[in-house]
Structure 1
Amino acid sequence: MFPKWASNRIQIVNLRRQKSDCLMFREYFKRDRFIFGVMITLAVLLYGNTIPNGYSLDDTYVAQNNPKVMKGLAGIPEIFTSRYVNEEGNSFGYRPIAVATFAIEHELWGQNPHMGHLINTLLYALTALLLFTALRKVFRNSGWLFPLVIILFFLAHPIHTEAVTSLKNRETLLSFLFGLVALHCFLKWMESKRVSLILAGTFCFIIAFLSKQDVITFAAIIPLALFYRSSEPIRLKWTGSRLFFVLKSPTIFLSLALLSFLVFYFATRRLGAIPTAILYFSTLVFLILYYRKLKKSKEMVPRKKFSWLFLSLGILFFLAAIFFFKARFALLSLITFAVFFTRLPENVKIRKISMPGIWLTLMISLLILSVAGILFYRLPNLYLPAEDKVVYNFENPQFAGDPSYPTLPLAFYTLWFYLTKLLWPHPLGFYYGYKMIPEVSWTTPEVIFSILFHLGILLFALWKLPRKHILSFAILYYLATISIFSNIVIKIPGIVGERLAFFPSLGFSIALAWGIFKLMGISPEAERIPRNKAVGLSFALLLVLIPYSAKTFTRNRDWKDYLTLFSHDIGYLANSAKANNTYANQLMKEAFNNDVKNPEPAVQKKYLDLAVKHLKRTVEIDSTYKFAWNNLGYITYRYLDSREEGIRYMEKAVQIDSNYELAHFNLGNVYKKQKDFKKSINHFREAQRINPGKMLYFAEEADAWFLSGNRENALTIFEKASEIDLSDDLPLINIGNIYWMSGDTLSAVESWVKAFERNPANLNVCNNLLGYFTRKGDEAKAEYYRSRSKVLELQSPNR
């Protein structure tokens, strides 16, 4: 027992400590509140000028006139049970979370792009707050200043303008945001081991994945962050003999061979949902049997006798599966999971050079996140319609299917492109694709430099990884997140895109901050720095932040609307086939603006002349661009009064693709005006062959027969059309019109009556029948159609 005076002394000391801790907490609270305020202010200052912007590139996918979104809250069930894009001949993806947020917006504020831009700005600010707290936890020994500098670089970087300014790219913001929340949950789980945090983290990861699948790389990033967060000492020294010893372990390559063989076997037969389930189940059974075997035997297989056999089998099937299995990330996650789990209890020697505790934590997180990502990648395909999306050469030449195409050189050029845009983000473009990204080979200087640079930083990162070097984390994070956009794992439409650099830019920001701290002689762990170094650091920060912020601020204005964006960027994107075609299409829309009933001829001609210029540039870049040929022909024929040239352009479109429906339809109409009815009818029939359910093509063919003087064939076509779709009244109306013009009034009226029975909302047909029966003196029928006409007139939107 302490004497009374000593007990009192201890109480005084404890009170002083509590008071000191309280003051320290208040100091930290004030500082963090100030830091959060700085980040929010910077985000709003940088992107506040986007709020007056309207809709722009690809916003129709998620917000502008989206039928599901315009239903408000009532449209959310349909959003979660349909494809991301669901248009005729263009159906793909599953990203319901971001689209659902726009449905909620529409319920609250209607179709209002300004609220959308405000919400994007606030989401970006919230992302900065979460990222700051995450970096403080991951870099456990760093002070508050180093993460703050990272966030400032991240916030100001102009390469984010597409992701923040474009409403469509809210999906990227949400995916990154929920990925960070998942990271927070797993970081807390590592400290507390509460299962609820694993469940919460997995749920947030799934939400992030359903926002956009870019977050799949967080299945590897989160374990990497847990590794950096851990305080467990590292005893791993990768000497050549130890590495060779681990690789020779037969049970590792036995599991590798079995798993790779299963994946290869099923993948060559188009791996589906059931084989996938079998694969995971087989993996689980294998591990259970393996661990049971370990209790009875020191090793499953004698080392000397079979080690090289298993090593060879493992490498053979692993490589086979890598090259033939499309969803390679699924294979890699499975193999990683199996290898590390079978490695942990291997034998005493391997245990001594590894870290069982932290590896178990990392593998559990890797397994959970990988399986969650893979399942939610495949599950929507079980109940959603099959994807129907054609990707063309002008988007990415790899889609042409040429086996001789230099895929790997293109991948390294892609990495070079992103690196240069991160270092010098000017100029920026709304779309790249072919030929903005040139054809490359192994001898292209950029490809050679990219190979040397990226392999070099990878080796450096692996060398420094056991020491938990900050630059190692930045490099591995960057390479992991950029890998899925390198055109190796998946082929990217457009080849590159600034929005795709949003995730990887964090790795660049970390490396940039580390480099400046190193240059200034400041430790990332520093809480306070001397005045002279603070001045130098401030100057370095301003040197980066001022041009970055200025570029971001001005770039936001370019995204004001479609025409502003396209007209600004096209000078830089002169070699991009799709960029030129996209700009031309927008010019055509402006020329035929539905909001202007009588556009000025001079203004219309200006737009159309410019559209023709860029359409010609499009086909000059890519002569297989059928859409550009068709539009060029349409404008040239109809508005520039050059008929032969217009026909030649449209014929070029159907030569490129004989199944090009719209070009056949346009040619049918053109030849009909030229009174070349034989060619007109042939093209309308081609359009019917491609899309037999579209009544317009039957109507146009029948009209061509009628104009050619063959009314019998016209009637036959309309009768055929009326039998195809029993709900469509147009064929019956046209049959009645033909009978009327032929003088067969009774047959005409009979057809119109049938048409009105199919569609009782057709006011014109109703009035025609009213006039006929009134003239005939049939008061009963006239009164019926008169009453129907009054009801329809009251319901008419033009009333």
Structure 2
Amino acid sequence: MSARKKTSSAKGKPKTPKAKKPVSKPIAKGVSPFGNGFWFKNWIPGAIILILPLLLYFQSTSFGYVLDDKIVLSENNFVKAGTAGISDIFGQESFTGFLGEQQNLVAGARYRPLSLATFALEWQWFEEAPGISHFINILLYALTGLLLFRLFFIIAPNKGAQPWYFTLPFLGALIFVLHPIHTEVVANIKGRDEILALLLSLGTLYFMLRYFVQNKIIYLPLAAITFLLAIFAKENSLTFLAVIPLLVMLFMRIPLQKIVLACLPILGAAIVYILIRYSVIGFLLDSGTEVTSIMNDPFLEATAGQKYATITYTFGWYLKL
């Protein structure tokens, strides 16, 4: 009898359901991370991310022109013509303003007119003022950190479970703006092409995410224009043709067909850039001119083994940083 009672009483007891662990979900349809008041709510982390680069790199405003600065700015005749030289900047290879003619000194030549156009505007307004150029670099870098913070917040929003100083958006953006690997780009005026390329590529990603979340078609042409400017800054922005769809596939519940169709405008922007580049410099990748300077080809006299060993070793140091 006692055994039966125990069995029946055990069966009669309702089981307490186990508490489910919260699972972080990707951006879902109907949940908009683009509500009003984002910067008002996050002004403290935003201010930190904006101010830290200004403090960290402000000393560079006392620096002058160095190394490649003379090629893209201080001794570039198109840049020194101010606004009158912008048509030549966009209409000719990027070293032509310094060399006087297109000489194809580097493999593939260079067509990165956007940063040179900004230098031309600076020269128009301030003439020879390296401190101004350095400050603009710092400001653009700080804005890149802010945009990265915003993008992190879209992809991995803080739902109030953690204080803002322990969240992925803040820590990720903080590491970005403080990382020493960026010193050369920020402190060297010529590095503006890198800063603009990343800033505008992230801007493209931002507009694409807004399109996918809010389904407003206006963001697609905005993304295409921003992406074209990014490639005008530096060609490595083309990698975002892969970065954007892959990121959307990983973090958003969007059908593949919609992702592909939405990426067509930025693909079109890339094609426009390639066509303009070809019409300006006369070839795509190889001019047929042999590069004979070790400054423009560090592997000029290296064997294949030496070349790839050096690349691997250098890449290891980048990973270490």
Note the alpha carbon deviations across 1:530-577, whole angstroms, 9 max, x for none.
Answer: xxxxxxxxxxxxxxxxxxxxxxxxxxxxxxxxxxxxxxxxxxxxxxxx
Instruction: Give 2:154's match in structure 1, choosing from 137, 144, 147.
Output: 137
Q: Distance in 1 between matches of 2:224 and 2:125?
A: 30
Note the alpha carbon deviations across 1:264-286, whole angstroms, 9 max, x for none.
Answer: xxxxxxxxxxxxxxxxxxxxxxx
Partner of 1:419: 319
Contact 1:83 1:385 in 2 (8 A): no
Matches within 5 A, 1:436-475: none
Q: Distance in 1 between matches of 2:201 and 2:224?
A: 10
Q: Distance in 2 between matches of 1:68 and 1:30?
A: 42
Note the alpha carbon deviations across 1:372-401, whole angstroms, 9 max, x for none.
Answer: 324413432224356567254565464459
Structure 1 residue 168: Cα displacement: 0.7
Partner of 2:255: 358
Residue segments in structure 2 that go unaligned for 5+ positions in a row: 1-34
Instruction: Give 2:196's match in structure 1, choosing from 141, 164, 174.
Output: 174
Residues 414 and 396 of structure 1, relative CA distance in 2, 3 Å threshold: farther
Partner of 2:43: 33
Give 1:76's aligned amino acid: I
**Structure 2 counterpart SS, 1:68:** helix
Contact 1:223 1:365 in 2 (8 A): no
Note the alpha carbon deviations across 1:620-639, whole angstroms, 9 max, x for none.
Answer: xxxxxxxxxxxxxxxxxxxx
Q: Distance in 2 between matches of 1:408 and 1:419?
A: 16
Q: Distance in 1 between matches of 2:64 and 2:295?
A: 28
Q: Distance in 2 between matches of 1:379 and 1:29?
A: 38
Structure number with the bigger relative contact order (C-alpha 8 A, sep ≥ 6) is 2
Partner of 1:159: 181
1:65 counterpart = 2:85: no
Structure ID, larger Rg:
1
1:100 counterpart = 2:117: yes
Matches within 5 A, 1:554-703: none
Q: Distance in 1 between matches of 2:308 and 2:261?
A: 33
Partner of 1:646: none
Partner of 2:277: 380
Residues 25 and 130 of structure 1, relative CA distance in 2, 3 Å threshold: closer
Give 2:260's aligned amino acid: M
Q: Distance in 2 between matches of 1:390 and 1:203?
A: 34
- Compute the RMSD of aligned alpha carbons: 2.6
Q: Distance in 1 between matches of 2:290 and 2:113?
A: 18
Instruction: Give 1:199's match in structure 2, choosing from 192, 197, 221.
Output: 221
Note the alpha carbon deviations across 1:556-606, whole angstroms, 9 max, x for none.
Answer: xxxxxxxxxxxxxxxxxxxxxxxxxxxxxxxxxxxxxxxxxxxxxxxxxxx
1:390 counterpart = 2:287: no
1:117 counterpart = 2:134: yes
Structure 1 residue 362: Cα displacement: 2.9
Structure 1 residue 370: Cα displacement: 4.1
**Structure 1 counterpart SS, 2:291:** coil
Partner of 1:453: none
For these two proteins, the number of residue pairs brought into alignment is: 271
Structure 1 residue 47: Cα displacement: 0.9
Q: Distance in 1 between matches of 2:191 and 2:57?
A: 14
Alignment TM-score, normalising by the size of structure 1 = 0.32
Seq. identity, %: 30
Residues 36 and 162 of structure 1, relative CA distance in 2, 3 Å threshold: same
Structure 1 residue 150: Cα displacement: 1.1
Contact 1:140 1:229 in 2 (8 A): no
Structure 1 residue 66: Cα displacement: 1.3
Matches within 5 A, 1:517-536: none
1:147 counterpart = 2:165: no
Structure with higher helix content: 1
Q: Distance in 1 between matches of 2:205 and 2:187?
A: 26
Residues 142 and 93 of structure 1, relative CA distance in 2, 3 Å threshold: farther
Note the alpha carbon deviations across 1:92-119, whole angstroms, 9 max, x for none.
Answer: 3111110000110011111111110111
Residues 371 and 398 of structure 1, relative CA distance in 2, 3 Å threshold: farther
Contact 2:156 2:168 in 1 (8 A): no
Residues 401 and 161 of structure 1, relative CA distance in 2, 3 Å threshold: closer
